[in-house]
A and B are shown apart, each in its own frame.
Chain A
Amino acid sequence: MLTIANKTFTSRLFTGTGKFPTYQSMQDSLEASGSELVTVALRRVNVKDKDDDMLAHLSHPRINLLPNTSGVRTAKEAVFAAQLAREALETQWVKLEIHPDPKYLLPDPIETLKATEELVKEGFVVLPYVHADPVLCKRLEEAGAAAVMPLGSPIGSNNGLKTLDFLKIIIEQSNVPVVIDAGLGVPSHAAQAMEIGADAVLVNTAIAVAQNPVEMAKAFKMAVEAGRMAYACGKGAISTQANPSSPLTEFLSYE
């Protein structure tokens, strides 16, 4: 069971809502994914409209909405966006995305830290999207982030875990859940993320753009479960403790 802030999750697969051909296929895929935390871009929903089409397709008792601030370029804009999201979607949770670079959508570490500090003060549950930077992740944790969301590779790139070495350090050092976000293109990428000990993964493009999004959502669900299971079993196998039988040092016991 995964706990972030005060919520527990059975599923470790978080999903996004962009890029689907229809809201129906989005809804069906989310259903198949078993996901309990779903990101929604504030830019895509009509917060003034109570019957917004996208939101209507996301109202399911299992699904928790995680509004994101995609589109903002500064901490100040992010804070405004989070406040609006809180009011409109009635959630304290926010996925903090600050990318001043509109091409690769790479997150701004300085503004992200600033906004996290501010939002935590205001009582938000902040999940910042960041580069796989171990020091930054520690700083965010100290600032009160509820989890950290380092990227595997640039958003939508499907390139998998290009940042593997740094993700391992982040996971090893973190006291808050680590959710690997962005770049997971195929289920094996998600499985790998879980095998190295990520607490969860977030997948959007790979599911939304698949020929059959529903089947792909299922495949990711299984991959995340398999990866997690392997991580749980593998812990012993990769233990750095000495083995009970120590052929190299055995001779010492005869002294």
Chain B
Amino acid sequence: MSEFKDLLSQYPPEKVHQALTNVTATRVEQTLAKKERDLEDFLVMISPAAAPYLEVMAQKSRQLTLQRFGNNMQLFAPLYLSNECQNICTYCGFSLDNKIPRKTLSDKEIMKEVEVLKGMGFEHILLVTGEANRTVGVDYLAHAIQLIKPHFANVSMEVQPLDQDEYERLISSGLHSVLVYQETYYRETYKIHHPKGKKSNFDYRLETPDRLGRAGIHKIGIGSLIGLEDWRVDSFYTAMHLRYLEKKYWQTKYAISFPRLRPFSGGQEPKVAMSDRELVQLICAYRLMDPDVELSLSTRETEHFRNHVIKLGITSMSAGSKTNPGGYAAGKESLEQFEISDERSPRKVADLLERNGYQPVWKDWDPILQGTFG
């Protein structure tokens, strides 16, 4: 099987763009009538021609999601360990050139966050850092996992890409899943937005899920940052990446996120805006192509949007998020990575889910299932 890099090079953006433009209404109707849908069908469903069929897509997506996931919604919270970063990313508040106070949590500070998050009921936790290998390298991460693992059922991580042996080390200490977004699959655009730091290496980032798959991780989350490039083309690449990974690392579970660019201190406006309607179209297209993939929604999205989109295909969401290190225990001491939109407490989000006939699921894992002990 060829590497994803080679696969990607066979689909230049112009070609994908052209294919998207060529989709006809008849093609959309045929696709929606199918029982099962592949990557080509995904392209059809995210095309502008599919936009008028949004309600049909939403109905089908809801029904498939209910069948596969039931009336359940997984809840998790991010825990920002550090906002130090050696990279320049044009869209992120933690970027090296952004003059903000930097902070990395000490053991004591981590435990304070843990206490607050436990009090809110969370059992699934996502550790987040910038990319600063000297301060928050693999030793720091391994230590942090050891520290918090006894308190949570499930530990995920969204940090800089690591080598395979580093992942193996973290998995054996209890790490369950890793989220790593390619940001954009456009090689040229990627360069523009990542001019400095380790992250400027497109291929190293692109191959991260492969290293994770080989290391035997339980779950990998991928996605592209919506706003840097044509979201349709980037989403097609993401879906292609998903398909490639599912076939190759068949023992791993996958999750997709749809981060839309959010305002942050000193940041730029998104190049490409994506409307709420379009995001719904994308969510449904994923569900209709892949009934089993986890679809995750963050508090970047507004209350209003989240209230409605929970019924359409989303299976996990964050709640009550703070995106600054120490934010749960101390409030806004250091700057956030981005502003969040839905500021409701986890309890309020859980109430909303219940009102809509969903069971908020706080715990859906146990370290024992990985052969590691809490």
Chain A partners chain B = yes
A9 interface residue, CB < 8 Å from B?
no
Q: Which of A1-21 contact B (CB under 8 A)?
A: 18-21
Given contacts A44-B361, A101-B250, A103-B292, is CB(A19)–CB(B70) below 8 Å? yes
Q: Beta-carbon contacts of B332-367 to A below 8 Å, as 1s and 0s? A: 000000000000000000000010011101011110
- Complex CA gap A104/B358 in Å reads 23
Segment at the B interface, from A71-79, A139-147, A188-196, A238-246: A71-79
B98 interface residue, CB < 8 Å from A?
no
- Complex CA gap A209/B70 in Å reads 6
Give the chain B neighbours of A21 by CB distance below 8 A. Answer: 71, 357-359
A109 interface residue, CB < 8 Å from B?
no
Cβ of A209 and Cβ of B66 under 8 Å apart? yes
Contact of A44 among B219, B357, B364, B368 (CB under 8 A): B364
Give the chain A neighbours of B358 by CB distance below 8 A. Answer: 21
A-B contacts, CB under 8 A, total:
80
B69 interface residue, CB < 8 Å from A?
yes
B1 interface residue, CB < 8 Å from A?
no
Cβ of B359 and Cβ of A22 under 8 Å apart? yes
Minimum CB distance partner of B294 in chain A: A102
Minimum CB distance partner of A185 in chain B: B67
Cβ of A76 and Cβ of B371 under 8 Å apart? yes
Cβ of A43 and Cβ of B251 under 8 Å apart? no
Given contacts A21-B359, A43-B366, A77-B370, is CB(A102)–CB(B251) below 8 Å? yes
Q: Which of B68-99 contact A (CB under 8 A)?
A: 68-72
Contact of B369 among A23, A72, A100, A101 (CB under 8 A): A72
Chain B nearest CB, measured from A55 CB (Å): 12
- Complex CA gap A73/B251 in Å reads 8
Cβ of B250 and Cβ of A42 under 8 Å apart? no
Cβ of A18 and Cβ of B251 under 8 Å apart? no
Cβ of B366 and Cβ of A42 under 8 Å apart? yes
- Complex CA gap A20/B70 in Å reads 7
Cβ of B371 and Cβ of A156 under 8 Å apart? no
Most buried by A among B67, B70, B253, B368: B368
- Complex CA gap A82/B252 in Å reads 22
Contact of B67 among A42, A101, A158 (CB under 8 A): A158
Give the chain B neighbours of A45 by CB distance below 8 A. Answer: 363
Task: Count A interface residues, CB 8 Å.
Answer: 33
Contact of B71 among A44, A71, A209 (CB under 8 A): A209
Cβ of B369 and Cβ of A19 under 8 Å apart? no
B109 interface residue, CB < 8 Å from A?
no
B168 interface residue, CB < 8 Å from A?
no
Give the chain B neighbours of A20 by CB distance below 8 A. Answer: 70-71, 359
Q: Beta-carbon contacts of B131-158 to A below 8 Å, as 1s and 0s? A: 0000000000000000000000100000
B246 interface residue, CB < 8 Å from A?
yes
A29 interface residue, CB < 8 Å from B?
no
Chain B nearest CB, measured from A85 CB (Å): 9
Contact of B365 among A18, A71, A80, A102 (CB under 8 A): A71
Q: Beta-carbon contacts of A58-102 to B below 8 Å, as 1s and 0s? A: 000000000001011110110011001000000000000000111
Give the chain B neighbours of A43 by CB distance below 8 A. Answer: 153, 363-366, 369
Chain B nearest CB, measured from A139 CB (Å): 23
15 interchain pairs (CB within 8 A)?
A20-B71, A20-B359, A21-B357, A21-B358, A21-B359, A44-B361, A71-B369, A77-B368, A80-B369, A80-B371, A100-B250, A101-B250, A102-B251, A102-B253, A103-B292
Partner-A contacts on B (CB < 8 A): 66-72, 123, 153, 218-219, 246, 250-253, 292, 354, 357-359, 361, 363-366, 368-371, 374
Partner-B contacts on A (CB < 8 A): 18-23, 42-48, 69, 71-74, 76-77, 80-81, 84, 100-104, 156, 158, 205, 208-209
Other A-B contacts than A76-B371, A205-B70, A209-B71, 6 sampled, CB-CB below 8 A, are A19-B72, A21-B359, A46-B123, A46-B363, A84-B366, A104-B292
